[in-house]
A and B are shown apart, each in its own frame.
Chain A
Amino acid sequence: MNGFWIIFWAALLGLTLLAYTTLAVVVTIGGYQDIRAMFRKLRERDE
């Protein structure tokens, strides 16, 4: 029975690490652009 859980958790850990690394790259780049857009919006509203 442990065999099933070991494979299951190993596969889940591997997949999530891979997916999370991809997400982190996308969000890091995109988030920086969003921060600039947010400041632009706040600045334009103040003017």
Chain B
Amino acid sequence: MESNFTTLDWIIVGAYLLGTVAVGVYVNRFIKGMGDFLVAGRSLKTRLGVATMIGSELGLVTAMYSAQKGFTGGFAAFHIGLLAGVTALVIGLTGFIVVPLRRTGVMTIPEFYEQRFGSRRLRIFGGLILAVSGILNMGLFLKAGAVFVTGLTGIQDATAIKAVMTVMLLLVLVYTALGGMVSVIITDYVQFVVLSFGLVLACLVAVSQLGWQNIVETVDVVHGAAGFNPFDGEGFGPSYVVWMIFLGIVSCAVWQTAAIRACAAENEQVVKRLYTWSSLGFMIRFMIPQFIGICALTYLWQHDAGRELFFHPDGKLIEDESLRAMPVFLSQLLPVGVIGIVGAGMIAAFMSTHDTYLLCWASVLAEDVVQPLSGGRLSQKTRLLVTRVFLFIIAAFLLIWSMWYELGQDLWDYMAVSGAIYFTGAFAVMLAGLYWKRASTTGAFLALFAGIFALPGLEPVQRLVGVFERFDAKGISGAHVGLATTVLAVVLMVLGSLVFPDKNPTKGDSTSS
């Protein structure tokens, strides 16, 4: 299918990318220590906090996996966004986990482990689990970005795509390494503005061109009742819905990239307002791309060329191609110039997510693994250097992983399971650590270790250990594995704490009072 992407659109994208690097260079002058680099000197106010939280969470990857879910799941996929929004709202109104976390004054979740349980080894172990899970979780970001650029621009040359992705990654590295959290906040803000208005506009254009009734009828033809009802077993099913409720909680309260916003907030009131306001963003970051994915389904189903590329002759979806549906659709829908602006916004979104995640995992490795291992003797300058070195090492890994790993399932489900290696255990540890005085170090170790049992939720791992056919026959999905791992982590946290209590169990008072 011929794309509308032209030279003018490339110029718009190029100008935007160079502008973001200039921001990194400019704000480098304000970076005086780790406090500035990681949490912007704790100077984040509500409105900017909302923009950056939505900016970093509404990335290109989010748009890609959400659109894929809309394409493969129809309107029923909206339940993911709805539950994400509702759980964020509840957390904002109650301050559940995030307010006591902000009260501790920590900069990372593993730092909380050490402060709460008084165990440096727990911090190092928790930091390693978090970093490994987080880096695996972002392992396919580059692949998603490459699929987007290919689909939008119509470029077919694989080498050219890899070159474009490498250059983008290098640009992210430069301004993140230079400006840290301050530059991340600025670029997140700009990206929020461009992408918010761009996506809303794309939705309106899509509906006006395709027609609402036409969209509904196409979803009905392709997906049937499962395309509307999330509880329908032919589609998502009740277990998946429960898994999404849990993911809604952890993705805004336990996942490090979101929790760091709470840590960076000016005070506890700002934390609550931040989550209350951002709940809409948490919902919309799924729903708008999902709707564009549904529109892509309608458009491609009704055009011969699209039908040939994305559907089997019997009308079933070609799962492996579903990730490309949204960019291909946008390349057909949007006119010259507008496609460049939306493309720049999306690529900026890609960079925005990358900078937040790269900074996050590099700082966790530097602050929660290397610094404690050194006995806390590293100077501010050395810690900055170590963080920047990790930025480059992680980036190199991502480049290799993106090219090597075969997805085998929806991108969203891969991310949920890879993230679960960390957040199933972390949820149990944070919940108990913040609200239960008897929570012990041994319980925390066991809960964090339990996260490893989430790995069989990944299809390539199932094939590797020879359980894929059995899981497939019994309908066991990543959602089932994730939920079982969560229950296991909570049980181990409780049992470990009761059987092996800490000698001084009152440390929790400082964080839960």
Contacts and interface: CB of A to CB of B under 8 A. Distances in A.
Contacts of A20: 196, 200, 280-281, 284, 288
Contacts of A10: 212
B228 A5 contact: yes
Most chain A CB atoms below 10 A, which of B30, B40, B225: B30
Contacts of B40: 38
Interface stretch (B170-178, B186-194, B461-469): B186-194
B51 A13 contact: no
Interface string A22-47: 01101110111111011101110110
| Range class of the A interface residue count | 20 to 34
B57 to A, nearest CB: 13
Nearest to B54: A27
B220 interface: yes
Contacts of A41: 41, 43
A9 B264 CA distance: 35
Given A16-B287, A31-B50, A23 B44 contact: no
B182 interface: yes
Given A24-B200, A42-B182, A31 B228 contact: no
B361 interface: no
Contact of B78 (A13, A21, A24, A38): A13
B45 interface: yes
B312 interface: no
B296 to A, nearest CB: 16
Contacts of A34: 44-49
Contacts of A43: 30
A13 B196 contact: no
B71 interface: no
Contacts, number: 104
A7 to B, nearest CB: 10
Contacts of B30: 39, 42-43, 46
Contacts of B85: 16
B397 interface: no
Given A17-B203, A27-B51, A46 B186 contact: no
Contacts of A26: 47
Nearest to A28: B193
Nearest to B193: A28
B48 A35 contact: yes
B43 A27 contact: no
B45 A23 contact: no
Given A2-B225, A20-B284, A28-B193, A38 B48 contact: yes
A28 B288 CA distance: 19
Interface in B214-255: 216, 220, 225, 228-229
Contacts of A13: 78, 287, 291
Given A12-B82, A41-B43, A17 B228 contact: no
Interface of A: 1-2, 5-6, 9-10, 12-13, 16-17, 19-21, 23-24, 26-28, 30-35, 37-39, 41-43, 45-46
8 contacts: A5-B75, A6-B75, A12-B82, A19-B280, A26-B47, A31-B193, A35-B189, A41-B41
Given A28-B192, A38-B45, 14 more contacts: A2-B220, A9-B78, A10-B212, A13-B78, A16-B85, A24-B192, A24-B196, A28-B51, A28-B196, A31-B192, A31-B193, A34-B48, A41-B41, A46-B32
